[in-house]
């Protein structure tokens, strides 16, 4: 089956969808015997529920996944069992902190007012074409650096500067996809010889790791000036995740009487990298496809603006064109929430999920799973089946998410799986929605986004569903 995959690599997600439709949403992929590239692929909600929830302990990331995603280290995305549980409990305590939510809100608002809106304003005044995906890439990289590391590299400004660590992060992720479509023996050889994509990834990792480790060293030196947590809180009312993580590890080390936790820079590096992936590329992907869909569906755009106007118009003493909404305020935007869900259904930022069976099993659909079988869940395909979403499954209809009482309809996570499902459901789901709503409201209330005529939106070959050639747009003034 490998030749067909390579021939359709430019449209791999739609190709997988076509194949799954022919095989009842679940089928086997067989590679050449010497490659060990045999997978079981599914987009059946009941099978997904079985894998992600009912038989969670039997389906793990596994050692092969960790080899492919070597750059991720032993972070939350690649770890299993107790290591994964430790990461999750640690990050859960970070995200559920009200102080962190306030810090996140202030960081995003500052970046919107100081960088994103001025950059779009400049593009509007100059009448130039811009790549909206590149703008979101820079915006989210600055945001995640500020949130995780407490440092803003200022990637987003009107001169679009070259920032080495941002470019390196992008290249490292692009190279990972390559490991999915060639035999392990091939990319292992290229890694050993340090040529091709493997050399590109190694060089990118060196640049990004140097940046991360320098931030860790700087943060450790900064925190060493203070004797206890209360002093840090007084001096740093907006504590970034790295600072908080270091303090938590120090508390753990005191309880266990071990200094290993305090000085484990590799753990901090891996955690930071995983947080970058979770809070950066996924948001970039979601916003890029959302604005492309909005440009193609002006009626949806009009309804979003009407909802914003009803909640924060002149009668509410809120000048939305010169203000950025807060987290509490965007919670009122139900239709916008539905529009984002609809966009994520059609273009999930992570298009496929990989699992490995520990023991033999039988799927609800009847497929027999052998021990050590690699299973690929196609999130992209799940949004394109009539059996799951109805005959209008390919249409962009935010209304499918809105109840008669004008609330959001709950859809099980194994059916709407953009934020994963079961115990591994994304911890930052709610915060991601809040951030996206803040960005969308700020842009739509100030500007009209028009896709350049002739621009074709094609998914890139990456582990994240970005646009291959970016999103070329023109910015015009929003007339009230």
Pairing type for strands 374-378 and 39-42 reads: parallel
User: Which range among 24-33, 221-230, 325-334, 471-480 has the greatest average pLDDT?
Assistant: 325-334
Determine the pLDDT at residue 232.
Answer: 46
Residue keyed to tokens 């130039």:
128
Instruction: State the pLDDT confidence band at 257, using cuts at 50, 70 and 90.
Output: low
- List Cα–Cα distances, 315 to 310, 440, 446, in angstroms: 8, 21, 18
Cβ burial of 217 (10 Å; 0-12, 13-18, 19+) is exposed
DSSP 459: B
Nearest to 108 by CA among 72, 140, 76: 140
Give me the chain's average pLDDT, please.
88
Determine the pLDDT at residue 301.
Answer: 96
> Could you report the per-residue pLDDT of 417-449, keeping only the tens digit for each?
999 999 999 998 999 999 999 999 999 999 999
Instruction: State the pLDDT confidence band at 263, using cuts at 50, 70 and 90.
Output: low
| pLDDT (mean) for 375-392 | 93
Nearest to 329 by CA among 341, 312, 353: 312
Instruction: Give yes or no for residue 201 having a pLDDT over 60.
Output: yes
More confident site: 251 or 137? 137
Instruction: State the pLDDT confidence band at 237, using cuts at 50, 70 and 90.
Output: very low
Q: What ranges make up the beta strands (E) of 200-328?
A: none
Of the listed ranges 63-67, 129-133, 380-384, the least confidently predicted one is 63-67
> Could you report the per-residue pLDDT of 223-233, keeping only the tens digit for each?
777 655 444 44
Residue keyed to tokens 């290249």:
171
More confident site: 109 or 180? 109
Kindly give, in sequence order, each residue whose CB lies less than 8 Å from that of residue 14, ignoring residues fewer than 6 positions away.
none
More confident site: 230 or 340? 340
> pTM of the full predicted structure?
0.91
Instruction: State the pLDDT confidence band at 260, using cuts at 50, 70 and 90.
Output: low
More confident site: 202 or 237? 202
% of residues, the chain, pLDDT over 70:
92
All structural domains of the chain, each given as residue ranges with its CATH number in brackets, are 2-477 (1.10.630.10)
Instruction: State the pLDDT confidence band at 234, using cuts at 50, 70 and 90.
Output: very low
> Could you report the per-residue pLDDT of 23-58, keeping only the tens digit for each?
889 988 877 666 666 788 999 999 999 999 999 999
| pLDDT (mean) for 180-192 | 85
Determine the pLDDT at residue 278.
Answer: 87
The greatest distance separating any two alpha carbons of the chain, rounded to the nearest whole angstrom, comes to 69
Residue keyed to tokens 């302990």:
57
| pLDDT (mean) for 269-290 | 92
Instruction: State the pLDDT confidence band at 250, using cuts at 50, 70 and 90.
Output: confident
């Amino acid at each position: 089956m490998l030749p067909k995959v390579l021939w359709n690599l430019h449209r791999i997600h739609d190709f997988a969808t076509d194949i799954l439709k022919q095989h009842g949403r679940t089928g086997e992929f067989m590679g050449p015997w010497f490659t060990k590239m045999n997978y079981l692929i599914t987009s059946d909600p009941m099978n997904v529920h079985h894998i992600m929830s009912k038989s969670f302990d039997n389906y793990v990331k596994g050692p092969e996944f960790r080899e492919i995603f070597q750059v991720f280290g032993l972070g939350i995305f690649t770890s299993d069992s107790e290591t994964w549980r430790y990461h999750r409990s640690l990050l859960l305590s970070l995200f559920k902190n009200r102080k962190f939510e306030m810090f996140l809100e202030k960081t995003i608002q500052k970046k919107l007012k100081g960088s994103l809106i001025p950059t779009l304003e400049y593009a509007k005044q100059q009448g130039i074409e811009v790549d909206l995906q590149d703008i979101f890439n820079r915006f989210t990289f600055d945001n995640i650096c500020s949130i995780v590391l407490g440092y803003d590299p200022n990637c987003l400004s009107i001169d679009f500067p070259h920032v080495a660590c941002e470019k390196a992060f992008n290249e490292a992720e692009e190279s990972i996809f390559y490991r999915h479509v060639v035999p392990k023996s091939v990319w292992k050889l290229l890694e050993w010889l340090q040529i091709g994509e493997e050399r590109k990834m190694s060089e990118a990792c060196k640049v990004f790791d140097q940046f991360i480790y320098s931030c860790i060293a700087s943060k450790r030196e900064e925190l060493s000036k203070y004797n206890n947590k209360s002093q840090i809180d007084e001096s740093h009312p907006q504590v970034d995740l790295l600072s908080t993580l270091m303090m938590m590890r120090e508390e753990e080390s005191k309880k266990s009487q071990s200094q290993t936790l305090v000085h484990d820079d590799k753990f901090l590096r891996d955690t930071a990298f995983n947080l970058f992936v979770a809070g950066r590329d996924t948001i970039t992907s979601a916003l890029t496809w959302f604005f492309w869909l909005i440009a193609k569906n002006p009626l949806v755009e009009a309804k979003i603006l009407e909802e914003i106007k009803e909640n924060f118009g002149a009668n509410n003493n809120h000048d939305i064109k010169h203000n950025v909404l807060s987290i509490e305020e965007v919670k009122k935007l139900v239709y916008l929430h539905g529009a984002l869900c609809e966009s994520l259904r059609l273009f999930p930022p992570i298009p496929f999920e990989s699992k490995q069976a520990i023991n033999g099993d039988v799927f609800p659909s009847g497929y027999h799973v052998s021990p050590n079988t690699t299973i690929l869940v196609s999130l992209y395909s799940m949004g394109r089946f009539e059996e799951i979403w109805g005959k209008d499954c390919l249409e962009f209809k935010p209304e499918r998410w809105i109840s008669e009482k004008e609330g959001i309809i709950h859809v099980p996570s194994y059916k709407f799986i953009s934020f994963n499902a079961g115990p591994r459901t994304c911890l930052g789901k709610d915060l991601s929605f809040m951030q996206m709503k803040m960005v969308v409201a700020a842009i739509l209330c100030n500007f009209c986004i028009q896709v350049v005529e002739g621009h074709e939106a094609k998914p890139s070959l990456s582990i994240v569903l970005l646009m291959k050639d970016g999103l070329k747009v023109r910015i015009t003034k929003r007339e009230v």
